Amino acid sequence: METNIRLTKLASCAGCGAKAGAGTLAQLLSGFKTHTDPRLIVGYDKSDDACVYVIDENTALVQTTDFFPPIVDDPFLFGQIAAANALSDVYAMGGEPKLALNILCVPEAMDKDAVHEILRGGYDKAYEAGAIIAGGHTIHGAEPIYGLAVSGFVHPKRVLTNSGARPGDILILTKPLGVGILTTGAKGDMVEPGVLARIYRQMAALNKAARDVLAEFPVHACTDVTGFSLIGHSFEMAQGSGASLHILTGQVPFHPEAWELAEMGFIPAGAYRNREYTAGGVHVKEGIPLAMEDILYDPQTSGGLLAALPEKEGMECLARLSDAAVEAAVVGYAAESGEYAIYLE
Protein backbone atom coordinates (compact mmCIF):
# COMPACT_ATOMS: atom_id res chain seq x y z
CA MET A 1 0.00 0.00 0.00
CA GLU A 2 1.27 3.48 -0.89
CA THR A 3 1.19 5.85 2.07
CA ASN A 4 2.54 9.32 2.78
CA ILE A 5 3.18 8.33 6.38
CA ARG A 6 6.45 6.59 7.26
CA LEU A 7 5.30 4.42 10.11
CA THR A 8 8.82 3.90 11.41
CA LYS A 9 9.16 7.67 11.90
CA LEU A 10 6.23 7.54 14.31
CA ALA A 11 8.01 5.11 16.63
CA SER A 12 10.95 5.73 18.94
CA CYS A 13 12.09 2.12 18.49
CA ALA A 14 11.11 -0.64 16.10
CA GLY A 15 9.77 -4.20 16.23
CA CYS A 16 11.21 -6.53 18.85
CA GLY A 17 13.96 -3.97 19.43
CA ALA A 18 11.36 -2.28 21.65
CA LYS A 19 11.25 -5.30 23.94
CA ALA A 20 12.14 -4.66 27.57
CA GLY A 21 15.36 -6.37 28.58
CA ALA A 22 15.13 -9.82 30.14
CA GLY A 23 16.91 -8.63 33.26
CA THR A 24 14.41 -5.81 33.67
CA LEU A 25 11.51 -8.23 33.24
CA ALA A 26 12.88 -10.55 35.93
CA GLN A 27 12.99 -7.66 38.39
CA LEU A 28 9.50 -6.46 37.51
CA LEU A 29 7.97 -9.91 37.95
CA SER A 30 9.71 -10.86 41.19
CA GLY A 31 7.89 -11.15 44.51
CA PHE A 32 4.30 -11.37 43.25
CA LYS A 33 1.78 -13.45 45.15
CA THR A 34 0.24 -15.85 42.62
CA HIS A 35 -2.01 -18.89 42.61
CA THR A 36 -0.61 -22.29 41.78
CA ASP A 37 -2.28 -24.98 39.71
CA PRO A 38 -0.81 -28.36 38.79
CA ARG A 39 -2.43 -28.02 35.35
CA LEU A 40 -0.27 -24.98 34.60
CA ILE A 41 2.80 -26.82 33.35
CA VAL A 42 4.55 -23.75 31.86
CA GLY A 43 4.21 -20.30 33.44
CA TYR A 44 6.09 -17.01 33.41
CA ASP A 45 8.59 -18.35 35.92
CA LYS A 46 10.03 -20.55 33.15
CA SER A 47 11.13 -17.63 30.89
CA ASP A 48 9.41 -19.50 28.08
CA ASP A 49 7.59 -18.27 24.98
CA ALA A 50 4.02 -18.97 26.17
CA CYS A 51 2.13 -20.47 29.06
CA VAL A 52 0.65 -23.96 28.83
CA TYR A 53 -2.39 -25.18 30.77
CA VAL A 54 -3.49 -28.83 30.60
CA ILE A 55 -7.20 -29.25 29.82
CA ASP A 56 -7.33 -33.04 29.61
CA GLU A 57 -5.04 -35.97 28.82
CA ASN A 58 -5.03 -35.12 25.11
CA THR A 59 -5.24 -31.32 25.08
CA ALA A 60 -3.28 -28.42 26.53
CA LEU A 61 -4.01 -24.72 25.99
CA VAL A 62 -1.12 -22.52 24.82
CA GLN A 63 -1.48 -18.77 25.38
CA THR A 64 0.74 -15.83 24.52
CA THR A 65 0.71 -12.18 23.53
CA ASP A 66 3.12 -10.07 21.53
CA PHE A 67 2.97 -6.57 20.07
CA PHE A 68 5.37 -3.80 19.05
CA PRO A 69 5.77 -0.50 17.16
CA PRO A 70 6.34 -0.46 13.37
CA ILE A 71 9.50 -2.00 11.95
CA VAL A 72 8.48 -1.21 8.34
CA ASP A 73 6.66 1.69 6.70
CA ASP A 74 4.10 -0.33 4.75
CA PRO A 75 1.03 -0.78 7.03
CA PHE A 76 -0.07 -4.11 5.53
CA LEU A 77 3.44 -5.55 5.85
CA PHE A 78 3.69 -4.25 9.42
CA GLY A 79 0.47 -6.11 10.25
CA GLN A 80 1.79 -9.29 8.67
CA ILE A 81 5.10 -9.17 10.54
CA ALA A 82 3.55 -8.35 13.91
CA ALA A 83 1.04 -11.19 13.55
CA ALA A 84 3.68 -13.70 12.40
CA ASN A 85 5.81 -12.74 15.38
CA ALA A 86 2.96 -13.29 17.85
CA LEU A 87 1.91 -16.59 16.29
CA SER A 88 5.51 -17.79 16.50
CA ASP A 89 5.34 -18.17 20.28
CA VAL A 90 2.71 -20.88 19.92
CA TYR A 91 4.77 -22.64 17.25
CA ALA A 92 7.82 -22.49 19.54
CA MET A 93 5.85 -24.47 22.14
CA GLY A 94 4.98 -27.10 19.54
CA GLY A 95 1.39 -25.87 19.35
CA GLU A 96 -1.16 -24.98 16.69
CA PRO A 97 -2.61 -21.44 16.94
CA LYS A 98 -6.41 -21.34 16.76
CA LEU A 99 -7.78 -18.06 18.17
CA ALA A 100 -6.35 -14.54 18.34
CA LEU A 101 -7.31 -11.06 19.51
CA ASN A 102 -6.01 -7.83 18.00
CA ILE A 103 -3.97 -5.46 20.19
CA LEU A 104 -3.84 -2.05 18.52
CA CYS A 105 -2.75 1.45 19.47
CA VAL A 106 -3.05 4.26 16.93
CA PRO A 107 -2.30 8.00 17.02
CA GLU A 108 -5.53 9.99 16.67
CA ALA A 109 -4.26 11.69 13.52
CA MET A 110 -3.28 8.42 11.81
CA ASP A 111 -4.92 7.79 8.46
CA LYS A 112 -7.84 5.35 8.74
CA ASP A 113 -6.78 3.55 5.56
CA ALA A 114 -3.38 2.86 7.12
CA VAL A 115 -5.05 1.43 10.23
CA HIS A 116 -7.25 -0.75 8.03
CA GLU A 117 -4.17 -2.07 6.21
CA ILE A 118 -2.39 -2.93 9.47
CA LEU A 119 -5.38 -4.99 10.55
CA ARG A 120 -5.71 -6.56 7.11
CA GLY A 121 -2.07 -7.67 7.32
CA GLY A 122 -2.75 -9.33 10.67
CA TYR A 123 -5.83 -11.10 9.36
CA ASP A 124 -3.85 -12.27 6.32
CA LYS A 125 -1.24 -14.02 8.48
CA ALA A 126 -3.79 -15.45 10.89
CA TYR A 127 -5.68 -16.92 7.92
CA GLU A 128 -2.45 -18.45 6.60
CA ALA A 129 -1.84 -19.98 10.04
CA GLY A 130 -5.36 -21.39 10.21
CA ALA A 131 -6.22 -19.19 13.18
CA ILE A 132 -9.25 -16.93 13.69
CA ILE A 133 -9.00 -13.34 14.86
CA ALA A 134 -12.16 -13.06 16.91
CA GLY A 135 -11.96 -9.48 18.17
CA GLY A 136 -9.53 -7.33 20.09
CA HIS A 137 -8.97 -3.97 21.72
CA THR A 138 -7.91 -0.60 20.27
CA ILE A 139 -6.73 2.53 22.04
CA HIS A 140 -5.32 5.91 20.99
CA GLY A 141 -1.71 6.70 21.84
CA ALA A 142 1.36 8.60 20.75
CA GLU A 143 2.82 5.74 18.67
CA PRO A 144 1.26 3.00 16.52
CA ILE A 145 1.50 -0.45 18.09
CA TYR A 146 0.08 -3.73 16.80
CA GLY A 147 0.14 -7.37 17.77
CA LEU A 148 -1.98 -10.31 18.86
CA ALA A 149 -3.00 -12.28 21.91
CA VAL A 150 -2.97 -15.87 20.65
CA SER A 151 -4.44 -19.13 21.95
CA GLY A 152 -3.50 -22.52 20.55
CA PHE A 153 -3.49 -26.18 21.44
CA VAL A 154 -0.91 -28.93 21.82
CA HIS A 155 -0.86 -32.47 23.19
CA PRO A 156 0.44 -32.31 26.81
CA LYS A 157 3.16 -34.85 26.01
CA ARG A 158 4.32 -32.90 22.94
CA VAL A 159 4.87 -29.53 24.56
CA LEU A 160 8.21 -27.99 23.63
CA THR A 161 9.92 -25.79 26.22
CA ASN A 162 13.20 -23.90 26.26
CA SER A 163 14.57 -25.87 29.22
CA GLY A 164 15.18 -29.44 28.05
CA ALA A 165 18.45 -29.29 26.09
CA ARG A 166 20.75 -32.23 26.86
CA PRO A 167 24.52 -32.66 26.48
CA GLY A 168 25.23 -33.96 22.99
CA ASP A 169 22.26 -32.20 21.38
CA ILE A 170 22.89 -30.09 18.32
CA LEU A 171 21.30 -26.67 17.92
CA ILE A 172 19.34 -25.84 14.77
CA LEU A 173 18.33 -22.29 13.83
CA THR A 174 15.67 -21.80 11.16
CA LYS A 175 16.13 -18.15 10.05
CA PRO A 176 19.30 -16.08 9.49
CA LEU A 177 20.22 -13.23 11.83
CA GLY A 178 20.86 -9.54 11.26
CA VAL A 179 17.33 -8.16 10.95
CA GLY A 180 17.67 -5.65 13.79
CA ILE A 181 20.92 -4.21 12.44
CA LEU A 182 19.52 -3.96 8.92
CA THR A 183 16.31 -2.23 9.98
CA THR A 184 18.39 0.16 12.07
CA GLY A 185 20.51 0.92 9.01
CA ALA A 186 17.37 1.36 6.93
CA LYS A 187 16.36 4.32 9.07
CA GLY A 188 19.43 6.07 7.71
CA ASP A 189 18.77 4.89 4.14
CA MET A 190 21.86 2.65 4.34
CA VAL A 191 20.22 -0.54 3.04
CA GLU A 192 19.45 -1.40 -0.59
CA PRO A 193 15.77 -1.99 -1.47
CA GLY A 194 16.47 -5.57 -2.56
CA VAL A 195 18.01 -6.40 0.81
CA LEU A 196 15.07 -4.86 2.63
CA ALA A 197 12.64 -6.86 0.51
CA ARG A 198 14.52 -10.04 1.49
CA ILE A 199 14.38 -9.40 5.24
CA TYR A 200 10.75 -8.22 5.02
CA ARG A 201 9.80 -11.56 3.44
CA GLN A 202 11.69 -13.36 6.20
CA MET A 203 9.99 -11.44 9.01
CA ALA A 204 6.55 -12.00 7.48
CA ALA A 205 7.15 -15.75 7.09
CA LEU A 206 5.39 -17.99 9.61
CA ASN A 207 7.38 -20.54 11.60
CA LYS A 208 4.68 -23.08 10.81
CA ALA A 209 6.72 -25.07 8.27
CA ALA A 210 9.64 -25.33 10.70
CA ARG A 211 7.32 -26.39 13.55
CA ASP A 212 5.67 -29.01 11.33
CA VAL A 213 9.04 -30.64 10.63
CA LEU A 214 10.34 -30.35 14.20
CA ALA A 215 7.16 -32.01 15.50
CA GLU A 216 8.26 -35.24 13.81
CA PHE A 217 11.55 -35.42 15.71
CA PRO A 218 12.60 -35.88 19.37
CA VAL A 219 13.19 -32.19 20.10
CA HIS A 220 14.42 -31.67 23.66
CA ALA A 221 14.13 -27.85 23.75
CA CYS A 222 12.81 -25.12 21.50
CA THR A 223 12.36 -21.35 21.52
CA ASP A 224 11.95 -18.62 18.95
CA VAL A 225 14.74 -16.10 18.52
CA THR A 226 13.28 -12.61 18.87
CA GLY A 227 14.11 -9.52 20.91
CA PHE A 228 16.59 -11.17 23.28
CA SER A 229 18.80 -12.21 20.31
CA LEU A 230 20.36 -15.58 19.61
CA ILE A 231 22.65 -15.23 22.63
CA GLY A 232 19.90 -14.03 24.96
CA HIS A 233 17.50 -16.83 24.07
CA SER A 234 20.33 -19.40 24.11
CA PHE A 235 21.31 -18.08 27.55
CA GLU A 236 17.78 -18.74 28.83
CA MET A 237 17.83 -22.21 27.26
CA ALA A 238 21.17 -23.00 28.87
CA GLN A 239 20.01 -21.80 32.31
CA GLY A 240 16.73 -23.68 32.11
CA SER A 241 18.41 -26.85 30.90
CA GLY A 242 21.30 -26.88 33.36
CA ALA A 243 23.71 -27.12 30.43
CA SER A 244 26.20 -24.99 28.53
CA LEU A 245 25.53 -24.11 24.91
CA HIS A 246 28.40 -23.75 22.47
CA ILE A 247 27.68 -21.44 19.52
CA LEU A 248 29.82 -22.16 16.46
CA THR A 249 30.05 -18.64 15.07
CA GLY A 250 31.37 -19.79 11.70
CA GLN A 251 28.17 -21.75 11.11
CA VAL A 252 25.62 -19.14 12.20
CA PRO A 253 23.60 -17.90 9.19
CA PHE A 254 23.20 -14.15 8.89
CA HIS A 255 22.45 -11.58 6.23
CA PRO A 256 25.92 -10.55 4.99
CA GLU A 257 24.91 -6.91 4.60
CA ALA A 258 24.49 -6.73 8.40
CA TRP A 259 28.22 -7.26 8.91
CA GLU A 260 29.28 -4.00 7.27
CA LEU A 261 26.57 -2.07 9.10
CA ALA A 262 27.67 -3.59 12.40
CA GLU A 263 31.24 -2.49 11.72
CA MET A 264 29.87 1.03 11.05
CA GLY A 265 28.05 1.07 14.38
CA PHE A 266 24.44 0.65 13.24
CA ILE A 267 23.52 -1.37 16.32
CA PRO A 268 20.00 -1.25 17.83
CA ALA A 269 19.72 -0.29 21.48
CA GLY A 270 18.26 -3.71 22.27
CA ALA A 271 21.59 -5.34 21.43
CA TYR A 272 23.26 -3.47 24.29
CA ARG A 273 20.48 -4.56 26.67
CA ASN A 274 21.07 -8.15 25.56
CA ARG A 275 24.79 -7.83 26.29
CA GLU A 276 24.05 -6.45 29.73
CA TYR A 277 21.58 -9.26 30.48
CA THR A 278 24.09 -12.00 29.68
CA ALA A 279 27.12 -10.22 31.13
CA GLY A 280 29.40 -12.67 32.92
CA GLY A 281 27.66 -15.69 31.42
CA VAL A 282 29.25 -15.67 27.96
CA HIS A 283 32.78 -16.72 27.05
CA VAL A 284 34.10 -15.35 23.76
CA LYS A 285 36.94 -17.22 22.07
CA GLU A 286 39.83 -14.98 21.14
CA GLY A 287 39.71 -13.78 17.54
CA ILE A 288 35.95 -13.59 17.09
CA PRO A 289 35.26 -10.20 15.43
CA LEU A 290 33.16 -7.65 17.29
CA ALA A 291 30.81 -7.46 14.29
CA MET A 292 30.05 -11.17 14.76
CA GLU A 293 29.27 -10.61 18.42
CA ASP A 294 26.98 -7.70 17.50
CA ILE A 295 25.05 -9.93 15.09
CA LEU A 296 24.66 -12.59 17.78
CA TYR A 297 23.32 -9.97 20.22
CA ASP A 298 21.10 -8.37 17.57
CA PRO A 299 17.37 -8.36 18.55
CA GLN A 300 15.39 -10.20 15.91
CA THR A 301 11.82 -9.49 14.89
CA SER A 302 9.80 -12.56 13.93
CA GLY A 303 12.99 -14.61 14.00
CA GLY A 304 13.41 -18.33 13.52
CA LEU A 305 13.11 -21.27 15.88
CA LEU A 306 16.10 -22.53 17.84
CA ALA A 307 15.81 -26.25 18.58
CA ALA A 308 17.98 -28.68 20.51
CA LEU A 309 17.79 -32.36 19.55
CA PRO A 310 20.04 -35.45 19.30
CA GLU A 311 22.69 -35.21 16.58
CA LYS A 312 21.59 -38.26 14.56
CA GLU A 313 17.95 -37.22 14.35
CA GLY A 314 19.01 -33.58 14.08
CA MET A 315 20.88 -34.09 10.82
CA GLU A 316 17.85 -35.85 9.34
CA CYS A 317 15.69 -33.00 10.63
CA LEU A 318 17.99 -30.48 8.95
CA ALA A 319 17.53 -32.24 5.61
CA ARG A 320 13.77 -32.29 6.08
CA LEU A 321 13.75 -28.57 6.88
CA SER A 322 15.64 -27.92 3.67
CA ASP A 323 13.08 -29.96 1.74
CA ALA A 324 10.38 -27.76 3.31
CA ALA A 325 12.18 -24.62 2.04
CA VAL A 326 13.22 -23.60 5.56
CA GLU A 327 16.63 -21.88 5.64
CA ALA A 328 18.03 -23.81 8.60
CA ALA A 329 21.53 -24.49 9.87
CA VAL A 330 23.32 -26.24 12.73
CA VAL A 331 24.69 -23.39 14.88
CA GLY A 332 26.11 -25.21 17.87
CA TYR A 333 25.68 -27.92 20.46
CA ALA A 334 24.82 -28.50 24.11
CA ALA A 335 27.32 -29.79 26.64
CA GLU A 336 27.60 -30.45 30.35
CA SER A 337 27.26 -27.30 32.41
CA GLY A 338 30.54 -25.42 32.58
CA GLU A 339 31.84 -22.15 33.99
CA TYR A 340 29.82 -20.20 31.42
CA ALA A 341 26.29 -20.67 30.10
CA ILE A 342 27.34 -19.74 26.55
CA TYR A 343 30.60 -20.33 24.73
CA LEU A 344 31.20 -18.49 21.47
CA GLU A 345 33.65 -20.48 19.34
Residues noted as catalytic: 16
Helix (H, G, I), strand (E, B) or coil at 270: helix
Centre a 10 Å sphere on the Cβ of residue 324 and count the other Cβ atoms it contains: 14
87 CB-near residues (< 8 Å, 6+ apart): 97, 100, 125, 126, 129, 131, 148, 150, 206, 207, 208
Strands across the sheet containing 132-140: 40-42, 51-56, 59-68, 145-154, 96-106, 132-140
Q: Using the Cα atoms of residue 97, residue 101, residue 107 and residue 109 in order, give the sign of their dihedral.
A: positive
Quote the CA–CA distance of 52 and 154 in Å, as a whole number.
Answer: 9
Centre a 10 Å sphere on the Cβ of residue 12 and count the other Cβ atoms it contains: 9
